[in-house]
């Protein structure tokens, strides 16, 4: 609480240097903490998702009940990997590094997104946020939520330019070989879908993976890419990301109301961004950040 | 090899591998069509979308 009062005072009276020091000091308090919740979440969520297939195929669980569970699994699958992409669970050379990489690889299986591709392209998103050519997530931007819906429909079409965005980004980085991961993930996904469909389980395949994956992608891109970077025009440390108040609350919006904290300090675990935001808010206001009434 | 990969990931293969049996099984669920005809109805439903996706690059026309 003292820190909040101090930051509020400094935000009004302090020099730019004092503000920098205080900002880093506050952020530092929230870094270097292993997010065990994200570890359990990432691996547990994937295990639940995978277990739905035998449960449905052996008639233990009705498919109408498995569908919302699978959808929830897909929607929840990205964020633990996101923690791993930023080395929040354990950095290079640390004893728990294997766990960081395990969570990164395993948690996005339901979304059919390969970890190494996500990590490389996501770092580019951070480095060039809202840059029309260099931000690989730039084409998610849309003028409104309604436009986002139509933009999403266009982006998931086979001929969409969005399909090649990550490949182009990786080739620019000299890491085009990582696209092999994407081919393997997508290939295995298609083989599972085709096999289930031709064995008489097409409806089950659609409700366990195909539709949940589409819904999960829509949710993920809306809350992680579109909403916190809207309108996607400004660049710069304090301008490229905003805070916003979600009508559906912080959990359904995947904790992204506080995404501005993540872009300023990517090593702060997701679960601690609300507390960090509250402490840093006066400084962010002084910086002229868009806090969206949060 | 590259050509094979392109074919495997093409909309037409997705339509034949997944959407055709899906639409057939949905038709069978309605109980209106017998088994053999359900496959014909299934392919008739899916084929226009598959051709549109393959040629135009969009399952739903809009790009």
Closest-CA residue of chain B to A180: B5
Backbone angles phi, psi at A42, to 5 degrees: -65, -50
Contacts of A248 (CB under 8 A, 6+ apart): none
Same domain, A220 and A232: no
Q: What is the pTM of this model?
A: 0.93
Q: How far off is chain B from A157, nearest CA to CA, in Å?
A: 5
Same domain, A153 and A255: no
Locate A209 and state its tokens: 């993976």
| Domain residue limits at A244 | 1-30+227-294
**How many folded domains does chain A comprise?**
2
Look at residue A8 and tell me whether its pLDDT is greater than 70.
Answer: no
Backbone angles phi, psi at A181, to 5 degrees: -60, -45
Locate A36 and state its tokens: 């065990």
Could you give the C-alpha distances from A193 to A67, A212, A229, B46, B50, in angstroms and in order?
Answer: 15, 13, 34, 16, 17
B39 Cβ under 8 Å from any chain A Cβ: no
Pairwise CA distance, residues B7 & A31, whole Å: 47
CB within 8 Å: A205 and B56: no
CB within 8 Å: B5 and A183: yes
Q: How far off is chain B from A72, nearest CA to CA, in Å?
A: 22
Check: CB of residue A25 under 8 Å from CB of residue A6: no
CB within 8 Å: B62 and A183: no
Closest-CA residue of chain A to B57: A159
Share of chain A above pLDDT 90, in %: 91
Kindly report, residue by residue over B13-56, the tens digit of the pLDDT. Answer: 999 999 999 999 999 999 888 888 999 999 999 999 999 999 99
CB within 8 Å: B60 and A206: no
HSE, side-chain direction, 13 A CA sphere, residue A76: 20
- Which of A195, A225, A255 corresponds to the end of one domain? A225
Same domain, A79 and A217: yes
pLDDT of residue A161: 86
Same domain, A202 and A239: no
Same domain, A139 and A198: yes
Same domain, A190 and A62: yes
CB within 8 Å: A203 and B29: yes
Mean pLDDT of A26-37: 95
Pairwise CA distance, residues A31 & A86, whole Å: 12
Task: Return the exposure string of A45-64: e unless at least 16 CB atoms fall within 10 Å of the residue's CB, then b.
Answer: bbebbeebbebbbeeebebe
Could you give the ipTM of this predicted complex?
0.95
Same domain, A207 and A106: yes
pLDDT of residue A3: 61
Look at residue A2 and tell me whether its pLDDT is greater than 90.
Answer: no
A187 Cβ under 8 Å from any chain B Cβ: yes
- Which of A175, A208, A225 corresponds to the end of one domain? A225
Same domain, A240 and A179: no
Same domain, A122 and A65: yes
Same domain, A219 and A246: no
Same domain, A216 and A126: yes
Pairwise CA distance, residues A50 & A21, whole Å: 46
CB within 8 Å: B18 and A159: no
Kindly report, residue by residue over A99-137, the tens digit of the pLDDT. Answer: 999 999 999 999 999 999 999 999 999 999 999 999 999
- Which of A225, A249, A282 corresponds to the end of one domain? A225
Same domain, A112 and A19: no
């Amino acid at each position: 609480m003292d820190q909040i009062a101090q930051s509020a005072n400094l935000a009004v009276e302090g020099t730019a240097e004092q503000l920098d020091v205080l900002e880093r000091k506050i952020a530092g308090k929230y870094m270097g903490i292993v997010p065990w919740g994200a570890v359990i979440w990432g691996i547990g969520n994937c295990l639940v998702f995978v277990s739905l297939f035998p449960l449905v195929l052996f008639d233990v669980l009705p498919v109408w009940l498995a569908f919302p569970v699978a959808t929830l699994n897909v929607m929840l699958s990205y964020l633990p990997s996101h923690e791993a992409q930023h080395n929040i669970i354990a950095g290079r050379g640390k004893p728990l590094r294997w766990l960081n990489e395990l969570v990164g690889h395993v948690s996005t299986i339901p979304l059919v997104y390969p970890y190494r591709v996500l990590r490389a392209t996501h770092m580019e998103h951070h480095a060039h946020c809202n840059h029309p050519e260099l931000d690989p997530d730039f084409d998610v931007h849309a003028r409104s939520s309604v436009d986002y819906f139509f933009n999403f429909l266009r982006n998931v079409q086979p001929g969409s330019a969005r399909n090649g965005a990550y490949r182009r980004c990786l080739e620019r980085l000299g890491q085009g070989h990582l696209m092999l991961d994407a081919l393997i993930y997508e290939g295995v996904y298609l083989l599972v879908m085709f096999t289930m469909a031709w064995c008489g389980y097409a409806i089950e395949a659609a409700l366990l993976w195909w539709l949940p994956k589409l819904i999960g992608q829509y949710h993920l891109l809306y809350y992680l890419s579109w909403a916190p970077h809207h309108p996607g025009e400004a660049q710069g440390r304090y301008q490229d990301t905003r805070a916003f108040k979600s009508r559906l609350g912080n959990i359904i919006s995947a904790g992204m109301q506080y995404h501005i904290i993540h872009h300023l300090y990517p090593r702060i675990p997701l679960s601690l961004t609300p507390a960090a935001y509250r402490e840093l808010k006066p400084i962010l206001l002084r910086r002229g950040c868009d806090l969206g009434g949060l | 090899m590259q050509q094979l990969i392109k074919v495997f990931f093409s909309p037409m293969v997705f339509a034949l591998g997944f959407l055709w049996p899906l639409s057939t099984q949905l038709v069978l669920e309605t109980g209106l069509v017998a088994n053999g005809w359900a496959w014909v109805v299934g392919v008739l439903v899916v084929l226009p979308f598959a051709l549109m996706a393959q040629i135009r690059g969009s399952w739903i026309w809009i790009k």
